[in-house]
Structure 1
Amino acid sequence: MLEKIDSIEQFDEIVKKESRFYLLKHSLTCPISHAAYKEYEKYANENQNMPTYFLAVQDSRPLSNEIAERFQIKHESPQAILISNGEATWNASHWKITNKALLNASSVTQ
C-alpha cells in the first residue's frame, strides 16, 4: 500500500522504523510522473512486504529538497529511491521507473 508523506519529520520516522523502503518523488502535473506512479503502484500492490511511500513535489518541496541533499541524489521528478538502513542504495527516474526495475532493484540490494 502506498502512503503519502509530506514532512521531513515523517520521513525521519520512516527511516528509523523501516530497514528498507521505497520512496517516489511524484509530480502531480507531469504525464511521465503519472505513468511512473502507475508502475510504482503496481509494484506496491504486488509486493506488500516492501513499504512504499511517495511525496508530491508540489506539496512537499522542503522534503524533496532535503532528500536530494541528504542522499546526494540530484532531484528529478518522477524519481524512485530505494533506502536500506538509512542509505540510498538505488534510484531511477522518468521512464526507468517500472514495476520490473523496482522488483529487480529490491531483490538485488537486499
Structure 2
Amino acid sequence: MNWTRLTDATQLDQIKEESTEQPVLIFKHSTTCSISAMALSRMERNWSDAAGIKPYYLDLLANRSLSAQVAETFDVQHQSPQVLLIHNGACVYDASHMAISFQMLTQAV
C-alpha cells in the first residue's frame, strides 16, 4: 500500500480534482491510539491496489488543524480514526473506529 501523506490544506483541492478520475481515500490516524493502530493495520492487510483507490494518510497529531479542514471541506463530523472516500469531489462514504473496512470502501465505489 503506497500512502501519499496529507500534510497541507492545498492538497484538499488536489484530492477533489483527483477524485474525478479515481476514488480517493483519506485515512485520519492518531499515532497514539491503539484503536487507530488496529484500524490502520486492518486496512493495510486487506488493501488491494486493484480497487483503483488512491490512499492518503493524515497524521492527526502532526496536523490537527488540517484534520478540522478535512471535516469541514467534506462535510463530515471529525472522528479518529476515520476514513473518508472521496469521489467526484465529495465524500461518498465515511467510517470510524472498528467500522473501518476495506470491503465496505470497495462497495461504496
After TM superposition, is the score higher than 0.5?
yes
Aligned length: 105
Determine whether 1:33 maps to 2:27. no
What residue ranges of structure 2 are gaps of 5+ in the alignment?
A: none
The TM-score, its normalising length taken from structure 2, stands at 0.85
Q: After the TM superposition, which parts of structure 1 deviate over 3 Å for at least 4 consecutive aligned residues?
A: none
Equivalent residues in 2 for 1:1-110, closer than 5 Å: 1-19=2-20, 20-44=23-47, 46-48=48-50, 49-98=52-101, 102-107=102-107, 109-110=108-109
Distance 1:27 1:80 in 2: 12
Q: TM (normalized to structure 1)?
A: 0.85
Secondary structure of the corresponding residue to residue 77 of structure 1: coil
Q: Distance in 2 between matches of 1:7 and 1:42?
A: 27
Higher helix share: 1
Identity percentage of aligned residues? 30
Output the aligned Cα RMSD: 1.5
In structure 2, the CA distance between the partners of 1:91 and 1:83, relative to structure 1 (3 Å rule), is same
